[in-house]
Structure formats: C-alpha cells, structure tokens
Amino acid sequence: MLPKRILDYGKSGNVIREISEYGKQRAREIGPENLYDFSIGNPSVPCPEQVTQTLISLLQTVPAKKLHAYTAAPGDPGVRQAVADYLNGRFGRHCSGDGIYLTAGAAAALAISLTALLNPGEEVILPAPFFSEYVVYTEQAGGVPVIVPCRSDFQLDVDVIERAITEKTRVLLLNSPNNPSGVVFREDTVRAVSQLLARKSRELGHTIYLLSDEPYRELAYDGMEVPYLPNYYPNTLVCNSFSKCLSLAGERLGYVLVPETVENWRDVYAAVCGGGRALGYINVSSLFQFALPACLGQTADLSIYAENRRILVSALKEYGYEMATPDGAFYLYVKALEEDDMAFCKKAREFELLLVPGQAFYYPGYVRVAYCMDTDTIRRALPAFKKLAQAYGK
Amino acid sequence: MLPKRILDYGKSGNVIREISEYGKQRAREIGPENLYDFSIGNPSVPCPEQVTQTLISLLQTVPAKKLHAYTAAPGDPGVRQAVADYLNGRFGRHCSGDGIYLTAGAAAALAISLTALLNPGEEVILPAPFFSEYVVYTEQAGGVPVIVPCRSDFQLDVDVIERAITEKTRVLLLNSPNNPSGVVFREDTVRAVSQLLARKSRELGHTIYLLSDEPYRELAYDGMEVPYLPNYYPNTLVCNSFSKCLSLAGERLGYVLVPETVENWRDVYAAVCGGGRALGYINVSSLFQFALPACLGQTADLSIYAENRRILVSALKEYGYEMATPDGAFYLYVKALEEDDMAFCKKAREFELLLVPGQAFYYPGYVRVAYCMDTDTIRRALPAFKKLAQAYGK
C-alpha cells in the first residue's frame, strides 16, 4: 500500500551507507585504529578558519531576528549576486544573481534541476561510472535513466553517447572531476560532446541540456584544468556544492547556475524555482547564506588530499593494482583483482579494508577507494592493501 | 517543452510572496514607517539567547570537521533520541529516536511525508482554509487534493469530511493552530474525526493517515490546549518545525514523527526516509542539529504575539470587523467587508495596509492579518484599519 519505489529507496538505502554501518560495528569490535575505512566521501580536513570566524561574527553582530529569517526562496539577492560575481570573475561567464538559485548542496541542486527539466518519460543519459543517486533523482522527476559506459580510460565515449540519444533525450548529466573514477573529462571530449549535443538538438528540434555536477571542481591535481562546461555548450546548467571544497558537507550549501546563454534562460530559471518549491525547499539556511560571500574563493587545505593521493597511488601501483587516471576528487577507482567486485570487497574486509564495489556506480569490476582521511591512516593501511594483492597472487 | 506544472509553480510563486514584493517597492516609495505590512509570517521576535550561545559554543569547541560533517540521513541518532525524549516527556507518547526524521522545516516534512504515503491518484483531504503549498506538495507526490470547507466558525466539519472520503482517500491533512484562521481545532471535533477515520479505514480496508502539520503548536493563547493528534488517532504522522517557536524560520529545522502506534510504523518510517532521499535531501544542517538538544522546550518570547493579538482583536472588533476565534498562531482571519476579498485587499492598500486575500488559502471572503511584528507598528496601523472600515460605512 505504501508506494513501492519510495519504500525501496528507504529500505535499500545506498550501498555506501550499508558499508558505513558495517564499519561502525566493526570499529567497535576491533577498535577504530585497526579498521581502514576507505568507503566514505566525508571531507577529512576542517573548513577554513574564515568560515568559523564568519559564522561566529554573524551570530555576535547581526540581530537574530534578521539573521535567522526567511530569505527569498532562491536565496538572498545580495548573496546570489556575490556568487555570480565570483563565478564571472573566475570563468568569464556572464550571469547575474538572477541566474543563481541557492540549494541545500549538490544533491538538492540535481533533484531540483531534473524536476525542472524533465517531462514524464524523457531520458537522461548517464555516463557510468556515476553517483548512484542520479538514478533516484531522474526516476523521481518522472524521467528514464539511460546508462552508457565511459571508455576504458574513463573518458567520455562520444560515439556511445551519440547512439544513446533518442527523440526523448532531454539531459546529459556529467560529473567531472568524477565520483568515483577521479577522472577529469578532457577538453577534447568535452568539445566533441558539446558539438554532438548542439547537432542533435538541431536535428531533433528540441534542446538537450547538459547538466554539470561539479562539487569536486576545486579538487584537481598536478595543475589539471577542469573545463567549465558553459564555456563549451550554451545550454549547460551547473550544479555545485561547497561541501567538499569548504569541508561543509553536513551543512548543505550549494547552487544551481542557469547561465544567460541557456535558451529562454528566464523560463528555465523559473522552472528551477518551481522545482525547488515542488520538492519542499523554502530557502537555504540563512546563517550559512550570509556567511558565504566572505568565504567564496577560499578552500579547505586540500594539500592533504594531494599528499594522500601521491602516497596511495604510488603504493597501489607498486603492489600491482591498476586504476583510472587519478586526476581529481578524493577517489581512486581501482580494478578489482577478481571479476566480481562485490566478492573482491568482501575479500578486502578480511584485511579490515572497506572499499565500495563498482556496482554501486553502475560500472562493475572496479572498487572505489576514498582517500579523504588522515595521511597517517593511509600509511597504516598500506600493508593491508599489499596483503590483499598478495592474496590474489600479485 | 519545460514541464508546465513545474514552470507554473516557479512563475506564479505564491500570492504572499507577490504581496511582499509589492511591499518592498512601496516601502521604498513612502518609507517603511508608513507601510503596514500584515502579509508575512516571519517571526518578529529573536530566537532565545540560548540558541545563539549554543551555536557559538559549538563553533568554538567542536572540531570543525566533526561539526560540519554528514550525519545519518534522518539526523544524528543522539539528536533524534533527544527530540523523542522531549516529545515523550511532553505528550506521554512512546516513540524512540528511530521514529524521528529531521527535516528542513515543516515544508520539507510535509513534502516528504506525502511522497512517502501517496500512490498515484490517491486523495488528500484538505480542510480549508489552509496553507496553499499543501496543494503543491500533494500534486508533486502524484496525489489529488480534495478541498473541503471548514464550518463557518473554522472548526472541522466532520460531516463534510465524511462525504469527501472515497476509496482513494489516503490522507487527511490538519493544521492546528491554523494558518490562516488562527483557530485551534477543539478536542470534540478531533475526537469525532479520529473515530470517522478509524471507521472508514476499516470499511475501506486500507489505512487513512492523519497528517498533523503543527508548527504553531507553541503559539496558543489564553491557556488554550492544542490536542496532540497521536493521542487520538494511532495512524497519525506529525510534521513540525522550530521555525516559529524558536524564531528560526530561515534555518529550516523540523521533523517528521512516525509514532510506534502507526501500523507497520517501521515501513512507514522507511518510506519517509525514501521520500527524503527521492527529493534530494541529505541531512539537516549538522550545526543546527547539534544545537537542537540544548534548545528543546525553549521558545522565543511569544508574549509579544499575545500582546499584539490583544490590541488588534480588540480594536478591529470595535471598528466593526468580524473574525475567526483567534486561538493561536500569529494570524487573524478577518471577514472582508465586501464579497471579493481580492478587491478588499486592493482597497486596503489605499490605506497602506497589506493583507493577504482568503483566496490564497482556498477560503475566499476573508483576509489574513499576520501580527508577527513590533507592537508599535500594530498601534500605528490601527487608524488605517479604522479608515478602511469607514470606507465601507462601518
């Protein structure tokens, strides 16, 4: 009698959460220092001190009834303009605060954007591997997920995407730097995909939107440039979050950007507002909104992730693991040492290593290793990775 | 090409927001001190000092990477248990933290609950007047709003509700103290409605849920008791918010309670979790979650609303206005002095009075007067209310 799909969402949770529950249990049994939990994408470095000081200062100086009052639904106009100014300065785009809709993180931004764009039965192309909630948000918006694989190097496969486009295609959802692969989509593939979407939109007589989910934009290593998709394809909506770059995952602070290059951008923006309204969003926390302008352009100390990555990539390669090119985010996507990635994760548990099977990202045969943790834990975990490899004769 | 219903939600906004925009414009023209804006339900008293001090203390003492990390999706287990303990102490119900799902305010709680309960085409009975977003959340969840009027004294009309029940009825949504009428539903009508729902659930062979939206529970005057619906009807879900009682409307902090008296409450709770997941909610702001236990049972200084109510009710009655019994919330629902409440609101603007037409609450012929403002503004506005009455020959 309860709606089955919704009940299933609630009962199944997601695989990562289940691993996390196992981890908590196991940590109680053997002591947390003996468990190597590489399953969670929770930032392990604190937010910049500027964030804390700004929050305290607001609480001490702004009258409470103003600080904690409703704002406009898309966010305070001054805050939205500050975000727009920052993005314009950074990427040379032209948007005003009127194109920014503040959201409770990137998850809300995606759920709202898909609600805004999709008519029932319209299709969303999802290049795998990808964050599993994309399927949930697509289904909830009445859409149909169309899952296509990336190439074996985890770059976009433009031919495969072209073959997946039908008259019902409405959105291509891209995530770069990618969770879980850590790969940054290269400029040439981005350019090719943009040309494809432009051509197909003309042929089909309707706009195919590019939805860019980019919470890991600031986490790219070795000077890697992350192409800014509105610079390549005009009908791009950007979903972003300050969860990872400011280490504020629990506070839910992000945005949808509807650039003025989007056809009928005012209508698309109105639909985004309507989507937010329909899903029960009123406004993003007013305290965190007002803190945001002082923190734009700052990041948590991301050098720790770079160091973790350096240590882990070097060691895992030495032990005989293969992986996707680890350009960004705080994930490695490592080839499982047997065909069944679930079985491989189970084997890893024998060495107290918690990994996430690639099936959770619709791209099996791999496992995700999240390295957002103390560098010391990384070092202590290396022997476990080594033993796991040895168990497979490496 | 954009989904029409969603675009309409975004374009039409709601009537109250439009009045608010007019108000901002008008305040610039004539000075805010000359405008009497009774349109907005934004708390006008600050949050308790305890809230501010708790937030500052958390920011100063809890490591940032813990304070701002993801929590479990339904909320931190300790915080949920604290909410359950508080409710159990207050209302003598038996629920554990496992029955509490923290939400971004009551709006999210309602959107999530309706998503959790409704199959496509199932009906939600909405006794009018009511907050217009109930229709949005019902439609978005695939349900059908069935609007029935309250009695002329704005109490529930049990006979009308009975006639509205069909085999598709799934939810009766009640809001007491009521926005906009200010009425508290009396115990005898609550009891009668509960008996009706129990009988109809048996006859139809499926559960009809009572959904209790009660953000104004703490705002009841003259010692008025607000019946706690789970004490009357076992299949009640409670949606609540700290927006009004703690004056934190902009921070989005509330909950859904699934009492253990609900049939298959664990499944219903799982569906609530699934609903939240489907709509893109990850967790409520971790900072505000951790602040909550220290603030449970506190309220902002609500005596100002009581004083505003006393002054306004007394004056308006003297000027010849009729209104619903103003038991609670911070609203009066006043009979328009002409048949068309929109025209009446327009006339009120001639005296710089901003009121919300009853049409916005699906119960025309009345206007809502929100008295959450400085008492001084209330006093200064009285001559305008008097002139408005005089314009209608009162």
Reply yes or no on whether the pLDDT at A257 is more than 70: yes
Is A275 close to B43, i.e. CB distance below 8 A?
A: no
Token pair in block for residue B62 = 């809890």
- Percent of chain B whose predicted confidence (pLDDT) is above 90: 94
pLDDT of residue A92: 85
- Chain B residues near residue A268 by CB distance under 8 angstroms: 2
Q: How far is B58 from chain A (nearest CA, A)?
A: 10
What is the rounded average pLDDT of the residues B342-356? 96
* Mean pLDDT of all residues belonging to chain A: 96
Q: What is the pLDDT of residues A324-333, one digit of tens each?
A: 999 999 999 9
pLDDT digit string, tens, across residues B3-32? 999 999 999 866 787 888 889 899 999 999
Which residues in A lie closer than 8 A to residue B10 (C-beta atoms)? Answer: 116, 269-275, 277
* pLDDT value at B284 more than 80: yes
Torsion sign over Cα B134, B138, B140, B144: negative
Mutate to test the interface with A, among B277, B289, B290 (most CBs of A within 10 A): B277
Say yes or no to pLDDT of A133 above 90.
yes
Q: Which of residues 21-40 of B touch A (CB under 8 A)?
A: none
Q: Is A19 on the interface with B (CB under 8 A)?
A: no
Give A12's pLDDT tier (boundaries 50, 70, 90): confident
CB contact under 8 A, A10 and B248: no
Size of chain A, expressed as the number of residues it contains: 394
For A50-69, what is the mean pLDDT?
A: 97
CA distance A289 to chain B (A): 10
Neighbours of B269 (CB within 10 A): 25
Query: Which of B5, B12, B65, B206 to probe the A interface (max A CBs under 10 A)?
Result: B65
Cβ contacts below 8 Å, chain A against chain B, sum to 242
Q: How confident is the model at residue B370 (pLDDT cuts 50, 70, 90)?
A: very high
**DSSP-based three-state secondary structure for B382:** helix
Q: Which of A5, A6, A285 to mutate to test the interface with B (most CBs of B within 10 A)?
A: A6
* CA-based R_g, chain B, Å: 21
Read off the pLDDT of each residue in B71-75 and give the average, rounded to a whole number.
Answer: 94
What residues contact B125, with CB distance under 8 A and at least 6 apart? B146, B148, B161, B164, B165, B169, B171, B172, B173
For helices A265-278 and B4-12, the axis angle rounded to 10 degrees is 90
Q: Which residue reads 């923006």 in tokens?
A: A269
Identify whether the C-beta of residue A104 lies closer than 8 Å to the C-beta of residue A281.
Answer: yes
CA distance B224 to chain A (A): 26
Cβ distance B371 to B385 under 8 Å?
A: no
Q: What pLDDT is stored for residue A13 in this prediction?
A: 67
* pLDDT, tens digit (0-9, with 9 covering 90-100), for A157-175: 999 999 999 999 999 999 9
CB contact under 8 Å between A56 and B56, yes or no, is yes
Question: Which pLDDT value is given to residue B163?
Answer: 98
| Whole-Å CA distances, B36 to B336, B371, B391 | 17, 10, 17
Question: How many Å lie between the alpha carbon of A124 and the closest alpha carbon of chain B?
Answer: 14
**Measured distance CA(A307)–CA(A327) in Å, rounded:** 13
Instruction: Tell whether the model's pLDDT for residue B41 goes beyond 90.
Output: no
Burial B303-314 (b: 16+ CB within 10 A, else e): ebbeebbebbbe
Tokens representing A392 are 């497979």
| pLDDT computed for residue B251 by the predictor | 97
User: Does residue B352 carry a pLDDT above 70?
Assistant: yes
Chain A residue with CA closest to B207: the answer is: A1
Residues 6 or more apart in contact with residue A198 via CB below 8 angstroms: A233
Residue of A nearest to B107 (CA): A280
pLDDT in tens, B292-325: 999 999 999 999 999 999 999 999 999 999 999 9
Interface list for A 100-119 with B (CB within 8 A): 104-105, 107-112, 115-119
Give the distance from residue B342's alpha carbon to the nearest chain A alpha carbon, in angstroms. Answer: 24
Nearest CB partner across the interface for B250, out of A108, A249, A283: A283
Query: Which of B304, B328, B112 shows the shortest CA–CA distance to B221?
Result: B328
The reply to whether residue A250 touches residue B278, judged by beta carbons under 8 angstroms, is no
What would the mean pLDDT of A109-135 be, rounded to a whole number?
Answer: 98
Task: Check A9 against B273: CB less than 8 A apart.
Answer: yes
- Tell me what the mean pLDDT of segment B187-200 comes to: 98
What pLDDT digit, counting tens, does each position of A292-333 carry? Answer: 999 999 999 999 999 999 999 999 999 999 999 999 999 999
State the DSSP H helix or E strand holding residue A215, giving kind and residue range, or none if neither: none
Q: What is the pLDDT of residue A20?
A: 81
pLDDT of residue B236: 98
Does residue B189 have a pLDDT over 70? yes
Asked if residue B179 lies in contact with residue B360, where contact means CB atoms within 8 angstroms, the answer is no
Percent of chain A at pLDDT > 90 equals 94
Residue A94 clears pLDDT 80, i.e. is over it: no
Confidence bin at A16 (pLDDT 50/70/90): confident
Q: What is the pLDDT of residue A17?
A: 74
| End-to-end CA, chain A | 52
B79-105 average pLDDT score = 94
Neighbours of B98 (CB within 10 A): 16
**B205 shares contact with chain A (CB less than 8 Å):** no
DSSP secondary structure letter of residue B326:
-
A176 pLDDT above the threshold of 80: yes
Q: What is the pLDDT of residue B35?
A: 96
Q: Which one of A201, A277, A290, A299 makes the best mutation probe of the B interface by having the most chain B beta carbons within 10 Å? A: A277
pTM of the predicted model as reported, rounded to 2 decimal places? 0.97
The C-alpha atoms of residue A23 and residue A20 are separated, in whole angstroms, by: 5
* A155 close contact with B: CB closer than 8 A: no
B17/A73 Cβ within 8 A: yes
Q: What share of chain A is helix, strand, coil (3-state, %, to 5)?
A: 45, 15, 40
Q: What percent of chain A has pLDDT over 70?
A: 99
The answer to whether B271 contacts A2, with C-beta atoms less than 8 Å apart, is yes
B67/A contact by beta carbon, under 8 A: yes
The secondary element (H helix, E strand) that includes residue B165 is none
